A = this chain, B = another copy of it.
Amino acid sequence: MAMQCSSFKFDLVSTEDHARRGEFHTRHGSVETPVFMPVGTQATVKAVSPDMLKGLGARIILSNTYHLHMRPGEKLIASLGGLHTFMAWNGPILTDSGGYQAFSLAKLMKITDEGLEFSSHLDGSRHFLTPEKAIEIQEDLGADIMMCLDECVAYPSTREYVNASVQRTGLWARRSLAARRGSSALFGIVQGGVYPDLRVRSAHEISSEAFDGIAIGGLSVGEGHDLMMDVLDSTMPHLPQDRPRYLMGVGTPKDIVEAVARGIDMFDCVLPTRNARNGMLFTRKGRITVKQARYRQDPNPPDEDCRCYTCRNFSLAYLRHLYMSREILGSVLSTIHNLYFYLELMSDIRHSIGEKNFDELRKQIKEIYND
């Protein structure tokens, strides 16, 4: 049978050294890159509503196939008109394959070339995820961009194990492409752990297929910033220029500017949202831990130069009070601020690349976030 083609399209707008400014187009609208995708694991970006997200400048979000497959189930979501209608988000949605959570959250029972057998973290029920099943679920959800099922190996892993997982990931990539029925975009995933030659081989293998974009997976799993950048240095030259590159699950502000400098176009990460709920705020002056006693009477906002709703209206003393009192509004206001920080950072990155000022911005961010 003929493979389906997606309506996905990517335009490169400008570059500065390896950094790229671009735009991709999906069924639910266009997205300028480099872009950060807030994570909406259970069909909600935690603590914020879709209209808040839009107001913050989010243009695309990520949602997790594993979680939605477990609860409430993709068939239920499909019967209600798909994920966009279900969660009232009318912009693009990228879904992962579910594989990562089968490895990291569920109890993994068995992995073979056929697929992954695991038991649910919710009720212990047995599930079997294949490349074809992952595509079927994502098509039921109505994702604009789907991800191939891959094998995400732990760090550290032996060269032998990573070699086998790269082969399996390539096999699954081709089966994923063959399984696509609709017009959703599909990204392949480069694996290879921290072994440069395996990354290069995987990059060539994945890039040779008709994917709409190329993701780099298996990073931000404990290898650290420097090793992550080493992997990018060896991998990026082997990726095609005409398709977006997505660094999965990354990262800190420093990770992001360094990855953009190496040609990455797309990011997702739970850091801004999760840290917000834990009382950690990102600012252009550094991190703030709101529970610290030093903020007890602080009348200043987290960042007086920040234009987010939180910084325009609330003091650190108030945010600390909400955190200490375990008030929901504390999570809401902190999430608003952290997402605004990330989305503004990406906007600044895009504009700096357009004006050839990216290297200056990169230095500034690395000075503030040097750990």
Contact = CB atoms under 8 A, between A and B. Distances in A.
B328 A297 contact: no
Contacts of A71: 321, 324-325
B329 A49 contact: yes
A6 interface: no
Contacts of A88: 313-314, 318
A38 to B, nearest CB: 13
A80 B46 contact: no
A331 B326 CA distance: 14
B72 A317 contact: yes
B332 A47 contact: yes
A274 interface: no
A317 B77 CA distance: 9
A296 interface: yes
Contacts of A324: 71-72
A57 interface: no
Given A299-B80, A315-B80, A328 B331 contact: yes
Of A50, A314, A318, A322, the most chain B CB neighbours within 10 A belong to: A318
Contact of A321 (B43, B296, B297, B329): B43
A332 B328 contact: yes
Interface residues of A, number: 38
Contact of A309 (B48, B49, B76, B315): B49
Given A81-B299, A314-B88, A333 B49 contact: yes
A87 interface: yes
Number of copies: 2
B49 A321 contact: no
A86 interface: yes
A46 B325 contact: no
Contact of A329 (B44, B76, B314): B44
A137 to B, nearest CB: 16
A327 B44 contact: yes
Contacts of A79: 297
Contacts of A47: 328-329, 332
A322 B46 CA distance: 10
A160 interface: no
B328 A296 contact: no
Contacts of A87: 318
Contacts of A331: 328
Nearest to A318: B86
A343 to B, nearest CB: 19
A51 interface: yes
A47 B42 CA distance: 19
Nearest to A89: B313
Interface string A302-317: 0000000100011101
A332 B327 CA distance: 12
A88 B313 CA distance: 6
Contacts of A328: 46-47, 328, 331-332
A212 to B, nearest CB: 29
Interface string A170-203: 0000000000000000000000000000000000
A51 B333 CA distance: 12
A71 B320 CA distance: 11
Interface in A249-284: none
A293 to B, nearest CB: 12
Interface of A: 42-44, 46-51, 71-72, 76, 79-81, 86-88, 296-297, 299, 309, 313-315, 317-318, 320-322, 324-325, 327-329, 331-333
